């Protein structure tokens, strides 16, 4: 089925998920929408996040997308249930939280796991609730890390500034003795190596890129949605465009791509 995949995020961090989808499902094309006019979602109200998510999803459905991928942990935590129920029987809606929880539980060896994410994601309690429901034997320690996403958006990674901020967060006593860590924001993939260095490789890191792409593959196979060949180009839209956003896309996506400005 050669209809596009619809992907959205609060900004351009979700391009890390889009890139993984493009690599693992090369026959698929997608429409990406980054809500850069309203980023970050992490400090917005629940009502605002749901309003933004509804508008973007309406745009993606209007453009014949065969699925909606919420490539944002905050929007996944706040808006997934609404979007899933609204489009039930029409298109599958995939979030970035459930596939990570499934992967952690499937590992079968973890006893204490940490989570770093935006304030809104942490306060929603969705990771804690889902983990407790799937495996109450895994202890979860959570920490809001509000400086990380804007730091990465501004290009501060792999330098003294990012190292100081990362070490300050990860040295928090709540993470003592963890055997794994969930990177609960699509931006954090860009500092995964630095996080791994902090833990000296002793902690298993989970992020949403390949895990979500493989989940989409499973869903598409079961619902006969896989494309036989790629027909058309990917499109990348943002609700606000600046030179900085354009320059940052290559860091998040890995290739030079053209952002199109679209105000919904």
pLDDT tens by residue, 152-204: 888 887 888 899 999 999 999 999 999 999 999 999 999 999 999 999 999 99
Give the residue carrying structure tokens 């967060």.
169
How many Cα atoms within 13 Å fall on the side-chain side of residue 246?
7
Residues 6 or more apart from 57 whose CB is under 8 A from it?
Answer: 6, 8, 68, 83, 86, 87
Q: Helices in 136-205 by DSSP H: which ranges?
A: 148-153, 160-170, 192-198
Q: What is the C-alpha to C-alpha distance for residues 36 and 245, in angstroms, rounded to an integer? A: 8
DSSP 8-state class, residue 261: E
Centroid of chain to Cα 117 = 11
Catalytic residue (choose from 69, 185, 238, 259) = 185
Q: What is the C-alpha to C-alpha distance for residues 132 and 139, in angstroms, rounded to an integer? A: 8
| pLDDT confidence tier of residue 150, bands split at 50, 70 and 90 | confident
Catalytic annotation on 65? no
- Widest distance between CA atoms in the chain: 51
Catalytic residue (choose from 18, 49, 60, 72) = 72
pLDDT tens by residue, 104-124: 999 999 999 999 999 989 999
Residues 6 or more apart from 176 whose CB is under 8 A from it?
Answer: none
């Amino acid at each position: 089925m050669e209809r596009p995949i619809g992907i959205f995020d609060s900004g351009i961090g979700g391009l890390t998920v889009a890139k993984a989808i493009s690599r693992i499902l090369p026959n698929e094309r997608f429409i990406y929408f980054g809500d850069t006019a309203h980023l970050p979602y992490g400090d917005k109200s629940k009502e605002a996040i749901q309003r933004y998510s509804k508008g973007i999803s309406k745009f993606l459905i209007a453009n014949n997308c065969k699925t909606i991928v919420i490539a944002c942990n905050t929007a996944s935590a706040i808006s997934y249930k609404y979007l899933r129920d609204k489009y039930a029987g029409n298109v599958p809606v995939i979030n970035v939280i459930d596939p990570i929880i499934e992967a952690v539980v499937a590992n079968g060896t973890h006893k204490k796991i940490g989570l770093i994410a935006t304030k809104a994601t942490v306060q929603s309690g969705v990771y804690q609730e889902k983990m407790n429901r799937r495996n109450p034997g895994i202890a979860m320690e959570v920490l809001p890390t509000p400086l990380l996403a804007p730091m990465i958006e501004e290009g501060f990674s792999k330098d003294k500034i990012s190292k100081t901020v990362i070490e300050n967060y990860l040295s928090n006593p709540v993470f003592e003795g963890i055997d794994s860590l969930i990177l609960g924001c699509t931006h954090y993939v860009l500092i995964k190596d630095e996080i791994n260095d902090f833990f000296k490789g002793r902690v298993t890191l989970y992020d949403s890129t390949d895990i979500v792409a493989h989940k989409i593959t499973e869903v598409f196979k079961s619902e006969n949605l896989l494309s036989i060949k790629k027909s058309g180009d990917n499109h990348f839209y943002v609700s606000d465009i600046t030179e900085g956003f354009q320059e940052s896309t290559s860091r998040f996506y890995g290739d030079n791509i053209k952002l199109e400005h679209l105000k919904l």
